[in-house]
């Protein structure tokens, strides 16, 4: 499963903040320096979805707030449910 994420680094908390123009908006508490925000994002997603960190990867947008993230072995429906995006 590949999806687009808009991250907001340096927030006071880490969590899903909803949807924004078809992207999942996630606030991360780590600062946007030396890959800290990216590592925080991967760790958060792995924990929320219930998978190991090595199945979550950023496939594009390493230095951009808009990133394409790949999670192996998870369906779109399961991902949506785990991230609390179901209506």
State the CATH architecture for 2-82.
Answer: 2-Layer Sandwich (3.30)
Write the CA distances from 61 to 2, 22, 81, 84, 86, integer angstroms: 13, 16, 24, 24, 25
The pLDDT confidence band at residue 85, using thresholds 50, 70 and 90, is confident
What is the average pLDDT across 58-87? 93
Residues 6+ away with beta carbon under 8 Å from 33: none
Domain locations in the chain?
A: 2-82
- How high is the mean pLDDT of the chain? 95
Q: Give the global pTM.
A: 0.94
């Amino acid at each position: 499963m590949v999806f687009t994420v808009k991250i907001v680094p340096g927030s006071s908390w880490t969590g899903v903040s909803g949807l924004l123009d078809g992207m999942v908006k996630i606030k991360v508490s780590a600062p946007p320096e030396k890959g800290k925000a990216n590592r925080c994002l991967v760790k958060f997603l792995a924990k929320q979805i219930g998978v190991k960190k090595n199945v979550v990867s950023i496939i594009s947008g390493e230095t951009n707030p808009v990133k394409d993230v790949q999670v192996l072995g998870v369906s779109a429906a399961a991902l949506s449910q785990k991230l609390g995006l179901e209506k």
